[in-house]
Structure 1
Amino acid sequence: MLKKKISIIGVPSDYGQRRRGVDMGPSAIRYADIIERLTTLGYEVVDEGDIQFKRGNQVIEQNNKLLNLNEIIEVSNHLANKVQDVIDSDSFPLVLGGDHSIAIGTLAGLGKYYKNLGVIWYDAHADLNTPDTTPSGNIHGMPLAVSLGLGNDKLTMINGYTPKIKPENVIIIGARSVDEGERELIKKLGIKVYSMHEIDRLGMTKVIEDAIAYLRNQQVDGVHLSLDLDALDPLYTPGVGTPVPGGITYRESHLAMEMLEEAQIITSAEFVEVNPILDERNKTADAAVALMGSLFGEKLV
């Protein structure tokens, strides 16, 4: 948005959860013509390809609070380095997941560059679990906590430092499935959350206006958008691993992206949890690409 060059980074990782297929998310999004859409808007688009890491079967370890830990560390390190390379080339990092555990690597790369990074976490879930609070052991429920410096040291120290972000610079939008441990952490850290209750009550226009004003007041030096497609109601995005009814509408999401584009505050973005195996005729990937279009300036008229 603030740069006319966009670098697309695919992260075909499904290690953060148990359901297979989300590793095909980057391919589905490319198939939905993301490169052509952004090029039409006047951007120079560079497809950096997919992050390369050793692929294999998911290493699901029962009774483990950190499933596939070593694999996620590998993916995160590769992604952090790639994000830094993209920023060094004066390009906008657009990361395509993969499950939401990839945000660990994205934020590890961004945090080396931005010293007061703001984060908009557009998601049905808070992703603030730690090994002590997780009900599943799935690391895709932990990336925000990890990036705040909470949890396993091997994860929090990705890229050699911790924390990557500050709790006062985080805004969660769309939450409607939050675990008890996450609720306690939100209150303890004072994280700003717009749940579906606030969205219904205030309207998306007010929510995004407040979010933009809040981040500007925090004097952030960049804003990362981490958008999980399960933030939207499953009616619009059926191809996600953890759908939660009662979500944000398709039109509300477009409005949010349009307002963020008008504010010119987003400096990096990732779109995650597109699972073609669970999808209906690539509907979720199409929605992701349409939202990216709005984020990067596409207008209805």
Structure 2
Amino acid sequence: MNQPVSLIGAPTDVGAGTRGSSMGPEALRVANIGPVLASHDLDVADRGNLSGPPNPNLPPVDGYRHLAEVQAWNIAVHDAVYAELALGRRPILLGGDHCLGIGSISAVARYCREQNRKLRILWLDAHADFNTQTLTPSGNLHGMPVACLCGHGPKELVEIGGHVPAISPKWVRQIGIRSVDQGEKRFVHEMDLEVFDMRYIDEMGMRHTMEIALATLDANTHLHVSFDVDFLDAEVAPGVGTTVRGGPTYREAQLCMEMIADTGRLGSLDVMELNPALDVRNKTAEVAVDLIESLFGKSTLMRTRP
């Protein structure tokens, strides 16, 4: 039996500009994420949904929208993800908007520090999510989680997990990026974040991209994947609040997931920004579950499980 898996729902869109990603966990369940993973000889426990404050839908205050609510949700996520890791299980966080990556990844980083393990984070997204209070055009905190995790953000968020910064930018590989604000772009270069944008993928191919992104993983490395569904091209995944044309095709995304699975190192997963209110007959949730199945070893006859 493979390492057991725990599903944790975080039904909030408190960090987003568009309402609706709060319904993401249920859409993934409707698309049978639990039974699909269980069909791969996985012990799957659905822990249900976390609870937190509702979305007040207010304008930004001092450059941040809904900071207190985002903090509360991320503390709940941190505690739930850390608890599953401590039980020896693999947490899968069902979002919700991508601000929740702060709680999820700070929990994984805390666990890795305590276990003396290295951490590698694959951030699959159309956006770098490296905005700050002064750079953000909107104040929406789902555009800031990577910056917060690297120590650049409000005290209420950067201190979740008890270590500032929670992670080093050197642990992150961003894949599929194609929408970055001007000031954010300068900050990404300044912090030396490793980004494989769509031009890189177009020129070098997904296989080469993933070989580099996964290079130097070893038995002591915990691999965390933060999968924003808008990573995918909008034709493949219309059900997201911030669609950006020109993302990876279905086949490129499948290759990406299969190469991650081949490492045998996947230790935790976020599935973020699925917005059923903008979807077509739950198509995007079904595509997401299909790709997650590949992350956990779905294989054609040509591939045997490593």
TM-score normalised per structure 2: 0.94
Letter of the structure 2 residue corresponding to residue 173 of structure 1: I
Match in the other structure for 2:4: 5
Code of the aligned partner of 1:280: V
Aligned counterparts of 1:111 and 1:185: Cα–Cα separation in 2: 23
Q: How does 1:1-301 map to 2 (within 5 A)?
A: 3-54=2-53, 56-62=54-60, 64-115=62-113, 116-215=118-217, 221-301=221-301
Residue aligned with 2:24, SS: helix
Between the aligned partners of 1:215 and 1:175, the Cα distance in structure 2 is 22
- For residues 121-164 of structure 1, the C-alpha deviation after alignment (integer angstroms, 9 at most, x for no partner) is 00000000010100110000000000011111111011322111
TM-score normalized by structure 1? Answer: 0.95
| Whole-Å separation in 2 of the counterparts to 1:87 and 1:274 | 24
Identity of aligned residues (%): 40
What one-letter code is carried by the residue in structure 2 that aligns with 1:84? Y
**Residues of 1 paired with 2:288 and 2:24: CA distance?**
10
Distance (whole Å) between structure 2 residues aligned to residue 154 and residue 72 of structure 1: 9
Q: CA deviation at 1:213?
A: 0.8
CA contact (8 A) 1:239 1:284 kept: yes
User: Would the alpha carbon gap of residues 68 and 203 (structure 1) be closer, same or farther in structure 2, given more than 3 Å must change?
Assistant: same
Aligned to 2:304: none
Q: Distance in 2 between matches of 1:164 and 1:221?
A: 16
For residues 158-187 of structure 1, the C-alpha deviation after alignment (integer angstroms, 9 at most, x for no partner) is 132211111111100000001122211221
Structure 1 spans left out of the alignment, 5+ residues: none
After TM superposition, the runs of 4+ consecutive aligned structure 1 residues lying more than 4 A away are none
Once the two structures are superposed, residues 100-134 of structure 1 have per-residue CA deviations (whole angstroms, 9 ceiling, x without a partner) of 00101101211111133211100000000010100
Task: Answer yes or no: is the 8 Å Cα contact 2:5–2:45 preserved in 1.
Answer: yes
Contact 1:257 1:294 in 2 (8 A): yes
1:23 deviates by: 0.1
5+ residue gaps, structure 2: 302-306
Equivalent residue letter for 1:108? S
Using the TM superposition, give the Cα deviation of residue 209 of structure 1 relative to its aligned residue in structure 2, in angstroms: 0.7
CA-CA distance at 1:220 after TM superposition: 6.6
**What is the one-letter code of the residue matched to 2:23?**
M
